[in-house]
Each structure stands twice: as C-alpha cells, then as structure tokens.
A and B are shown apart, each in its own frame.
Chain A
Amino acid sequence: MIFIALRYLLERKKQTVLTLLGVFFGTMAYVGVSGFFVGFQGFMVQQLVNNAAQVHVEARKDYLTEHVLDGPFFGKDWLHAFWVSPPAGVEGFQEIQNPSQWYQRLAADPRVEAYVPQLSAPALFTLGRNSVGTTIMGCDPKKQARVTTIADYMIAGKFTDIAVGGNRIVMGDELMKRLGAAMSQTVMATVGVNPVPVPFKVVGRFYSGSRGLDLQAFAAISDIQRTNLTPNQVNEIGVRLKNYQDADTMARTWAMSSPERVESWGDQNANILSVFAIQTALRFSMIVTILVVAGFGIYNILNMTVNQKRQDIAILRALGYDAFDVIMLFFSQGMIVGVIGGACGLACGYLLCAYLQTIPFMVATPSNPQGHLHIALNFKIFAQAAFMAIFSAALASILPARAASKLTPIDIIRIGG
C-alpha cells in the first residue's frame, strides 16, 4: 500500500509539501527552543552547583514564633496561651556542634568528593572613606578549591595565597571596585562580634560573573577565627558530591540525624529551579501546540483525500484489499509526511542549534569565556522531537484512515462513486 500511498502524495505535490512543512517547522522549533532552554538551564545549574557547595551544612538558627514556648512553660494542661508580649528572637547555635563527627562522616561517605569547614561572618571593609558591608568566608583554600570553582575565577593572584599567613584576603571584583581597592593594598575589616578593625592585605582578585559571589571575600579560616574572637569555631561545612543530583537525597538524610541545618543546592535555589520548571512547561505547551496544528494539517488533507478517493477505495475493496489495507493506504500517507518532515526538522534543528552556539550573546565570564549561548544538543531532545512528530502524524492519520476503512464498496458503486 505504501507504493500507492507514495503515488497519492507525489500526485499532489503542493499539498504534500505544505503539510510536510508544518511537521518540519514544528520539529525544528522543538529542537531549537529546547536546545536553547535546556542549554541555558544546564549552564545555570552548572553555575549553581559549581559556584557554591552542593550540600551546605550550617549551624541551625530558628526564628522564635509566638507559641514556641507554650509547652515548656505550661506543660500539657493548657488549651491556648495568650501572650501580652509574645516571645521573639532567634534560638539556635553559633557554631556546628560536633564538627569532627561531620568530618568523619563525610570522609567515610563514598558519594562525597570533598568537603571544607568554613567560618562565615559579616564584615565591614573600609578603605579610606569607602566602606562596604559584606560576608567574609574563612576556609582552607585547598579544600575550598576542591568544593567550589572559586580558584578558577581568579583574575589576579592565587587563591591559595590566603593561607600563607598574616591576614591575607582574596576579594571579589565587585567588592574591590566598590572599595576602590587594588592588589597588595591593605584594607581594614571589622569582622563579626569584634568591634576592632583588623588590617587585611589583598593578595588576590576573582571574577565569577555572579554579582553576589563577587561581593564576597575569602581568607584563611584561622585568620577569621582569630579576628572574630571565636577560636576553632566552624559554623558551615561545604560539601561537593561525585554526583550533584544526589544532593537532595543526601541533604534530607543528613538533616534527620543532626541538629544542623542541611540544605542541598536545590533547596537554596528553589526559586530558580521553579522558574526552570515553568520554562519547561511553557516550552512543551508551545511546541505541542505547533505540532497539534501541524497534525490538523495532516488530518484535513487526509480527510479530503479520503473523500476524493472513494472510487479508488471501492475498487480496491472489490479487488480483494480489506479494511486493514485501506487503513494502511491512508495511515501510511500521514506517517510518510510525519517521518520525512520530522527527519528534516531534526536535521535543520541540529544545524540551527550549531549556528546559535556561535552567536555572541552575553558578557564573557570565566565560566563562559566566549560569551556565547549555551545550546543543549543532547539525544533526549532529538528523541522527544522525533516522537512528537511521529505521534502527532500518527494520531492525525489514523482517524481519516479508519473512516476510509468503514466505507463499503457497494455503497460507493451504487451511488456512482
């Protein structure tokens, strides 16, 4: 039947080409749009999982709610407590309670690639008349460089120089610009609870492209512990995993067995991930709409063809072709259009993505030196596009094909076709 189906398609070239173009553009659009969105999302996820720890452990601090102290004060014999001045504040810990237990657990876990103990404190940097309030992170630079990609973002100096000794600091590019600082200059830092400003020498400068990160500063953990008047204190541990997709599961597991707050990179960026989810839903609905319209094109053409070919159907049934053969005659026409249109759409979609990758689109950053669009060219996108093209063609074809198979030759012959 494919032989006759091909003849039908070739006989009305214009209609066939127009219908094919519908599937072609729909498929190409899916590959291009998905490549763009998935590529962008992948780029953003890489930024999220590389710029900061994939699992973040920090000393728990909970905001006190109005009724959090009802039980401790009144035991079980109370219905409702009305507070004249309800309790307020933050309860929790200033540091991780048993860091050495954490270190043992993380060192023993085969899923953990690296971890870094950190002391994070608010800091006020002053240089001349300029002051900037930000966060200073105390860490072991070698361990920090294994957990995040901060060392790759250095544009002056070396990240490990902070461990040389003597209050050395590496600053983000944005922080240095706001302070008006330069390499090898000394800035005054008021760190945490210590009201006395302490000099720090700038030995490095980094630029990540992320404004929040570029406003931060890093120093040796021992320097920050001393400056903050909290010797040996660790209030955060950053963890890098061998597979970042395990982060959610591992964060939940660790949170259940420790007093600390344990969050995955996904928890910390839930708003960004929800935007991605919306993008994905929009992408699917847009492309499905395009392919549904293309499918309607196939449906209309085949419906017209069935009406025009009633005499052919009658004679084929008289010559021994049964209902299934008639279904295949029309179904295969739709599928030929769907497969060819889909295949051409995939090929041109690939070329479109390859071209998009060469377009300069954003400011060059260390993680994206060329400043080009990140386009995803993965098999899953192509497989989805091919499936949707074929599925929409199949669905659009089967209905007219079944209608054609229900026509009886005698009815057509009696009324003269």
Chain B
Amino acid sequence: MARKAGGLAAIMSGQPVVVVKKRSVFWRLRHLTRQGGLHVGLILLCILYVHFGALFFMYSESPEEQRILRRVEKRYDILRETFLENVNRVKLEDFSDERRVNESISRLIDDYSKHMFKLFTNPVAANMFDCLFYSQSNYTPLWTTDSSLLFTATTIIPVGYGYIAPLTSTGRIVLCIYAAFGIPLALVMMSDVGKFFADAFVKFFHENITAFMVVLLILLVAYSVIGGIAYSKIVGVPMIEGVYFSTITIFTIGFGDITPGIPVYVIIIFIVFGVAIVTIAIDVVAANIIHHIHYMGRQVGRAKIIADKMLSMAQKISINRGLGLGMAQLGAFARMGMMINVSAMGPQDGHANGGVGEGGIEMSRKSTWRSENDEIKTRKSTAFEPDLDFDMIDFRQPSGSSQYLYGFGFDNNAFGLADGQSDEDSVFM
C-alpha cells in the first residue's frame, strides 16, 4: 500500500523513482550463470535423457536379441541339413529320369525358398545374414552402444530411421512412454535454442521479415547441401546420395534406406542443428501464410476487436513443432494490430481533447491575472495535447487540484513532504 501510494505520488509529480546500484563483477557473473543455467540445464537434461534411454534399451533388448539369434542359427542349420539330406535322397532314388530329377529339385528349392523368406522377415535374422554375406565377418549385435544411442536420439527428435526397433512388448511399452516424455523435451530444447538464433537474426535484419525469410530458406538449403557433400566425401558415395540422405534426415522423414557410415555423435549433432533450422524456417515462413489464409474470409470490421484478436492470435500461432512465435512475428503482428488500434482510438482523442479543453477553460476562469492574449495561447496549447489515457485524467484531476491548493506558495520542503516522497533524489533543488 505504501509502495503503491508512493508510486502514485511519483506519477502525479512527474518524478519516477530511480535506484542506481553499483554492481560488482562477482554479482554479474553470478547473474549470468543463473540466467544461462536454465537453458544449459535443458540441453544437459536432453543429453542425459538420450544416454539413459540408450542404456535401458540396450540392456532390455540385447537378451532377446541373443535368444532370437540362437534360435535363428539353429533353424538355419536344420534347414541346411534337411536340404542336403533331401538332395541326397533325390540322387539315390531317381537316378534314371532327368525330368523327374529336375521336378524333385525344383519342389525342394521352392519349399526351401518359402522357409528362407519367412526367416528373413525377422530383424535379427536379417542382421545375421547381413554380417554373413556382406560384411564377411562375425555377427555384430543390433543393440550396441552406438546403435542404441542413435536409436534413442532419432526417436525423440523424431527422425525414426528404423534401423533397429524394439521387439519385446516391454521394450515397446517403455518406448511409448519414453517418446511421450522425450519428444516434447527435445522439441522444447530445440525451440529454445532456435529462438535465440531467431532473436539474433531479428536484430541483425532490423525486423525486415522478408529478408529474414529469404535468409532462412537459403540457410536451410545450404545446410542440407553442405551436409550432403560432407557425407558423400567421408563415406565415399555419390553426392546426390549424400544430399538425399541429409535432406531426408533433417526433415525428420528418416526412411532408413541408407546406413550412415560416420560416428554416431556427428550424426546426432548434425540432426539437432538441422532440425532446429528447419523448425525455425517453417515457423517463420508458414506462420505468415497461415495467418493470411486463416483470416482471409473474415471481414475487417470492428477494428479494435480485430486488433486484440490479432495480438492474441499472434501470441498463439505455432506450427507442428510447437515453436513459439518469434520476435519478428510478434513485431509484425503488433505493428499491424497497433496501426488499426491507433486509428480506432481517434474518437477517444476527440473526447480527450474536449475534456481537457473544458477543464482548461474552467481553470482559467479562476485566474485573475490572466490577459486576453494569454488565454488564447492557453487554449491553443491545450487543443493539440497528445494522446492521454482516460484513466489517468479521471484519476488524477481532483488530487491534482488538492495538491495545487496545498502547494501554492509553500517552500520546497513542505512541498516534498506533501508528496510523501522520502527519497533524496525527488526533492526539488
């Protein structure tokens, strides 16, 4: 209450209270740490979430993978032995008729093919044959540390290559819960980081929305192409394949048809920054388009209500990624809304002018030393008074009169006490 009264007195007397405080370097560092701590903490939380998820899925899915591997190997051996035995039997039984021999072998191979294709549908079996025929090496598990890390990162971003996926019911249930919490966390983190870049761009381009959009699109295409070229040079594939892989990745499509041959952390960093750029670009460009389309059919009437709705809608506009409205968008919508609002406030200006004029005239009658010329000047000076808020006029008029009556003719100290000011800065000299 006292604070409020002081504030009111300060408003009436036109003296804002200014408290200047000397700050030490230690204080500045502490505040800087506290300021950045939230955002850095968010990034660290994402990193920990990804790593713990990777550990969980690796330890949850590896035993199942081992069991399936043993079963598949046994079945493969059984199929092979059966095939060889059957071939021997065909050789011993039907040695005299070529047509019968060919028919028997064809039937044998058909049955065998059917079983093999059914076996191929199992991801563990596919991986086993992959290692057997293409890598010429021993079996490499599906769920290694690197593959688990890539799996959890691309789950919450959400690229979803599908190189590996959980097979057990427990793994799938945990994955649903993990993604339900992880995807919003990742989106919030990337939106938070992206908003800093968006704010920097806004300052750099002085809120030129068109230039901002053009630069964002160029940056998006350049990032995709440069990433593709780098990938093709590292792995040794054609450039179009590299650009294809990087584009499919940063748009979070993630077919999984091309297996990356570069370290997992490099891919994850590439994905994070790429998806952040994509979300910023889509947010800035599409927000304009959707604003125009959504309100195209509405009539532009009742300017003040439209302006308020525009401001509230501008605060809420978001695209699929949930990225909040950037400062540039807020500036654009606010300018549009305020221009309409300023034109709508015209009648209020008329009322304000009338009120102030009448007040001036009433006050001028109390003065006995005013001459004709002074009266004319006073009237003109009050006629074009700039925009005044109704609330302030209504609220301050009687108090102002009272203060004037008390303050007239008194010295400085009494005037200060009447205002209720206790600060040294507010005392008149």
Do A and B originate from a single complex? Answer: no
B interface residues, Cβ below 8 angstroms from A: none
Residue positions of A touching B, CB distance < 8 A: none
